[in-house]
Homo-oligomer: A and B are copies of this chain.
Amino acid sequence: MSLINDLVSIVGAEHVLEGEEAAPYLSDWRNRYKGRAQAVVRPANTQEVADVVKLCARYEVPMVTQGGNTGLCGGATPSNKGDAVLILMTRLNHILNVDTVNDTITVQAGCILQQVQEAAAKHERLFPLSLAAEGSCTIGGNLATNAGGTQVLRYGNARDLALGLEVVTPEGDILNGLKGLRKDNTGYDLRNLYIGSEGTLGIITAATLKLYPQPAAECTALVAFESLDDALYMLNYSRKGFASRLEGFELMSDYCLKIVNECFPEQSLPLSLDYPWYALIHIADSDSEEQAREIFHRVLEQALEDDIIQDAVLAESLQQAHDLWHLRESIPLAEAMVGQGIKNDISVPISRIAPFVDDTNTALQSWYPGVRHIIFGHLGDGNLHYNIGAPVGEEEGFLSKQEEAFKIVFDSVVDYDGSISAEHGIGQLKKDMLPDYKDEVEIAVMRKIKRALDPLGLMNPGKVIDSVDFDY
């Protein structure tokens, strides 16, 4: 029990959880992954994180870092071995600094994303990272997984919003990179190496993030297309017409809207469901509501005239805009209510989306006739949630076919130069598949880095990549 005693001496007895107290942190929120741990520890600050890591390194005990536990790939759940210590970051929840001249905010890793957004808003600034879990995910987790969300088109992923990081290395050293610099060419870009590494190379304890001016006005429209090609044409049209005003371009198949309509009849659909594809287009303007609406009208009218879009409704009020977004946000819920499904989070070059969807739909239908296609996502980023529902009445055992479905979809993704995980990461879900779908030289370099920075393989083992390969 000397590990536990030593942990207690670092963080205090009330912050070393075992048994029942530890249980909530040992499975993910969807209950897809369950693990065990020697203890869950809740350090209060960076120094305590470093001391815990040093201790675990000395005992050669694996470490799993957890923030809001909202991940979708099991990246924050320990293995079943029970040898790990789970480091919970939620007490590192302080906004350290807001600098309105430098337009930066420095926050501890355990801050909730919404807390960061609100701290920025209090200073009349925008922190643009926005995603469904923003009320409970932590910024540390967002950075560790390079989270995306709905405003990537304009502001980029979590990666693009981070100027500097503080990181505890696998040896328990503190790397102090919390500089709010927009330019720094003094050697290797370690910041981007830690971002997206899912806790396998070190623990992000704080970050300095970019802030933006708040927009003067926002505007949302729902539009209907005759084909996916037209949707892509409209995306290009929007990039040109709205330029940097364009913040979101969210594609939805007719089937997505149909199930939302069935499950939530109280949500009114402002367009008929006569077309196969729809998109929510969202813009923000720095000048005025009037200008935003005028430009939106102009672009939509031209698109109608050019037969790129078949129908359109421009939200007339904030409430209407909210209602339109609510349709989009209700898709995953409707999906779950309608039946079992296999989720994909893939990306391909935007120019190849239409043939990718055609080909992959066909391949899936010949594999399992009648599967339902639930396709929606961030078209502007080439990122589709290309989900597959069991055929009606054939729910039983469908999820056990997940690996077969993954193989069909991922083979197609690779044919189209895409990525098998656009925004959710690898975690434990896709770790074993990754080497089959990624450039082998890239895999070899990743492994060299993992081995160099974490030679004992203690940082979040069993996630992303193993320290050793079988040829080693």
| A contacts, CB < 8 Å to B | 99-104, 145-146, 148, 152, 157, 159-160, 169, 173-177, 179-190, 192-193, 195-197, 201, 213, 215, 232, 236, 239-245, 286-287, 295, 347-352, 378, 380-383, 417-426, 430, 434, 437-439, 441-446, 448-453, 464-465
Contact = CB atoms under 8 A, between A and B. Distances in A.
A451 B449 contact: no
Given A173-B444, A382-B102, A445-B453, A183 B148 contact: yes
B183 A422 contact: yes
B193 A426 contact: no
A190 B445 contact: yes
A425 B181 CA distance: 15
List 7 tightest A-B contacts by C-beta distance, closest first: A243-B286, A452-B452, A101-B351, A192-B192, A244-B244, A184-B419, A183-B422
B419 A181 contact: yes
A421 B186 contact: yes
Contact of A186 (B160, B189, B434, B449): B434
Given A103-B239, A193-B449, 6 more contacts: A101-B350, A181-B419, A182-B350, A182-B383, A287-B295, A451-B452
A454 to B, nearest CB: 10
Contact of A183 (B185, B423, B452): B423
A192 B193 CA distance: 8
Contacts of A444: 173
A353 B295 CA distance: 38
Given A192-B189, A192-B193, A182 B381 contact: yes
Given A182-B382, A382-B181, A417-B179, A446 B99 contact: no
B349 A102 contact: yes
Contact of A146 (B185, B240, B383, B437): B185
A181 B195 CA distance: 17
Given A102-B350, A239-B103, A438 B159 contact: no
A419 B177 CA distance: 11
Nearest to A433: B186
A380 B103 CA distance: 11
A463 to B, nearest CB: 10
Contact of A185 (B174, B182, B243, B424): B424
A382 B184 CA distance: 10
B180 A417 contact: yes
Contact of A177 (B145, B243, B287, B439): B439
A189 B196 contact: yes
A232 to B, nearest CB: 6
Contacts of A441: 169, 173-176
Contact of A349 (B148, B180, B451): B180
B446 A449 contact: no
A72 to B, nearest CB: 11
A448 B452 contact: yes
Nearest to A180: B349
Contact of A160 (B102, B160, B174, B442): B160
A43 B179 CA distance: 40
A128 to B, nearest CB: 12
A209 to B, nearest CB: 13
A351 to B, nearest CB: 4
Contact of A187 (B179, B181, B182, B464): B464
A197 B192 contact: no
Contacts of A422: 181, 183-185
Contacts of A242: 286
